Structure 1
Amino acid sequence: MKIKNYFILLVCLINCFTAQSQLFLMYDGLNPNDNYFDLPKYSLEYNQKIKEKLYEGLEEDFHIRMLVRPSFDAEYIFQVDRDIRNYEADSFVARFQKTKSNLWYAEENYQKVNIKKYQAHINKEDAELLTNAFVKLLKTTRYERSDFDIYDGTNYLLSAFEYGPGIVSGNVKSPRDNEIKAVVDVVENLINQTKSKRNIKLSEEAKSTLKNIIKHIEKNPTSADYELMSRIVKVIENNKESYCSKLTESNRLHVEDALQVIQDPKQFAYYNFDKSTLKNFIEGIEEEFVEFNTFDEDSKNEMLKNGYEIEKEENIKNNIFQLILKEFD
């Protein structure tokens, strides 16, 4: 199973004079859908164009729906709903609709943009499996810290109907999370089938992918998982202050930030806890910390000559992340 925790460690900005690193976090999962009343005017107008043009003729009672809004290319939507025209309880239809060109750039001429429409039947088993995967994935939707704003890219709005809560949805832009990417790929394959076939179906590989996603999201932390997290938090609490007090200012801020993320229980214990994921995450932080504090002699001499601080070798070699990683042994 892929490494997932909705976070990517990006230690990527290096000051060319101090060569100090900084921890940046990017939330990799689904964000809650934008509130209609909080949207700026330009977003509201764009969404109204999409609703008017792209949603025309779509059933409002759907099982799953994926709206795709690229930065420059044509927008499109895919949904699965019951074929109410036949009044058959087990009859499902897939609908795919795509604009001829991007509605954002059409501006006042958006009404002249043509819409291509396709539909095909999909069997009950596949429709329900796809819906179940959507619902499970959408339950991971949450507000989360992210140190990067992405303005360009392709926005995916995933929606599903679940008995009880009703319609649930989540946004992601240019997804990097492997499970979200996998679900998008499955839908894209169904879209390609819809454009040329009257009956579409999930491949065995797609079924296996969706079942694995459902299984992984349904996984609950074990007592051993909670015990590991408890030990890690204890190591941090017992060593954080003394270790960070020895560091240079920039490294202190970096390490304190990283430790806060590591010991936050909702990051790992409550959301699809995976021991190997957590270990890889901490190893990544430790590796980057060492790398960005390691210089050749010429660089060291030049930095000292210009009055810049260099981290003590002892603090790099015996860093707090190594103490934490010992808890995995």
Structure 2
Amino acid sequence: MYDGLNPNDNYFDLPKYRLEYYEKIKEKLYEGLEEDFYVRMLVRPSFDAEYIFQVDRDIRNYEAESFVVRFQKTKSNLWYAEENYKKVNVKKYQAQINKEDAELLTKAFGKVVQTTRYERNDLLMFDGTNYLLSTFVSGMGEISGNVQSPDGNEIKELIDVVENLINQTKSKRNIKLSEEAKNTLTNIIKQTEKNPTSADYELMSRIVKVIENNKESYCSKLTESNRLHVEDALQVIQDPKQFAYYNFDKSTLKNFIKEIEDDFIEFNTFDKDSKNEMLKNGREIENEENIKNNIFQLILKEFG
């Protein structure tokens, strides 16, 4: 259910095989990069070549407040290179970016990365592309967060902006944010800075009340597997961080709950032959009334 940034791996908790892989990335991709950076994005696809993007100050022209974009990419995937990784070449690109664009990008990174948190996610992904977003925030230092193949949120929009800058860096000495990219970053900043209103808290209070008044009686009627699933989903919905921490607006929260309901209905919907086969094999089937009049419908009524 959670598609935000997760905390970065703890070095001392890494298994040996991952530690060795990360050391290869550090040795190959980080070579020549400035340690003091404004933003950095490390990308680790499952099968394709790894690459890194970074914005830092041009120390040769520091007084002019000049910023440098650095993009470095391996010729092939380091994971599959195994012991031959030392033979893998790294292509390096560099370009200038103006102060205003660098600062806007850094601010957007800071707002997004500060939403990093530990969160339960039952959908484990082992393939796809991992993005490690890192930045420097005054008063906090260097912070970072991981996300796996994001889709359709502020994180994905931020990554798309960076990918455009990467494409520019491959062919230009001076790169810049397009007006569309600037608008995207500005909107990301506004969305992450948006505070919940009194009406938001009133809505959340009503939702919690609906759950408190109906959870026990409704869940007691469900099959064991559905009971555990619904209880977990309700715990997520009534979590105050949905508003207070992640700034869910009304429509976002409503869609979030509707998706949970749709998944619940789809999971418990079978054709006649499938039902007969399941009953024949001793499988439990959810009562139609519990599916038709589920607790999520009661919650959605609070949105008006």
Supply the distance in 2 between the matched residues of 1:204 and 1:238 (Cα, whole angstroms).
Answer: 50
Q: Does structure 1 residue 270 correspond to structure 2 residue 245?
A: yes
The residue correspondences of 1:39-118 to structure 2 (distance < 5 A) are 39-118=14-93
Would you say the 8 A contact 2:200–2:243 is kept in 1? no
Q: CA deviation at 1:306?
A: 5.6
Supply the distance in 2 between the matched residues of 1:57 and 1:216 (Cα, whole angstroms).
Answer: 35
One-letter identity of the residue aligned with 1:119: Q
1:155 corresponding residue in structure 2: 130
Would you say the 8 A contact 1:155–1:173 is kept in 2? yes
When normalised by structure 1's length, the TM-score is: 0.86
One-letter identity of the residue aligned with 1:183: L
307-316 or 174-183, which deviates more: 307-316
- Give deviations 1:181-235, integer Å, cap 9, x for gaps: 1111111111111111110000011001111011000001111111111111111
- The SS at the match of 1:81 is strand
More helix by share: 2
Q: CA deviation at 1:292?
A: 4.1
Q: 1:98 to 1:208 in 2, by over 3 A?
A: same
The residue correspondences of 1:157-176 to structure 2 (distance < 5 A) are 157-176=132-151
One-letter identity of the residue aligned with 1:175: P
1:28 corresponding residue in structure 2: 3
Q: CA deviation at 1:130?
A: 0.4
146-155 or 52-61, which deviates more: 146-155
Match of residue 105, structure 2, among 130, 134, 142: 130
When normalised by structure 2's length, the TM-score is: 0.93
The residue correspondences of 1:1-329 to structure 2 (distance < 5 A) are 7=1, 27-295=2-270, 308-329=283-304
One-letter identity of the residue aligned with 1:153: G
One-letter identity of the residue aligned with 2:86: Q
1:23 corresponding residue in structure 2: none
Would you say the 8 A contact 1:194–1:200 is kept in 2? yes
One-letter identity of the residue aligned with 1:212: N
Supply the distance in 1 between the matched residues of 2:101 and 2:52 (Cα, whole angstroms).
Answer: 19
Q: CA deviation at 1:280?
A: 1.3
Q: CA deviation at 1:259?
A: 1.5
- The SS at the match of 1:156 is strand
Q: CA deviation at 1:298?
A: 5.5
Supply the distance in 2 between the matched residues of 1:248 and 1:82 (Cα, whole angstroms).
Answer: 59
- The SS at the match of 1:88 is helix
Supply the distance in 2 between the matched residues of 1:49 and 1:155 (Cα, whole angstroms).
Answer: 16
Would you say the 8 A contact 2:28–2:90 is kept in 1? yes
Percent identity between matched residues is 85
- The SS at the match of 2:298 is helix
Q: CA deviation at 1:89?
A: 3.9
One-letter identity of the residue aligned with 1:100: K
Question: RCO greater where, 1 or 2, for CA within 8 Å and sep 6 or more?
Answer: 1
- The SS at the match of 1:62 is coil
122-131 or 63-72, which deviates more: 63-72
Supply the distance in 1 between the matched residues of 2:210 and 2:217 (Cα, whole angstroms).
Answer: 12
One-letter identity of the residue aligned with 1:198: R
Supply the distance in 2 between the matched residues of 1:34 and 1:300 (Cα, whole angstroms).
Answer: 44
Supply the distance in 1 between the matched residues of 2:273 and 2:48 (Cα, whole angstroms).
Answer: 50
One-letter identity of the residue aligned with 2:12: F
Would you say the 8 A contact 1:225–1:273 is kept in 2? no
| Unmatched segments (≥5 aa) in structure 1 | 1-6, 8-26
1:15 corresponding residue in structure 2: none
300-309 or 286-295, which deviates more: 300-309
Supply the distance in 1 between the matched residues of 2:273 and 2:45 (Cα, whole angstroms).
Answer: 47
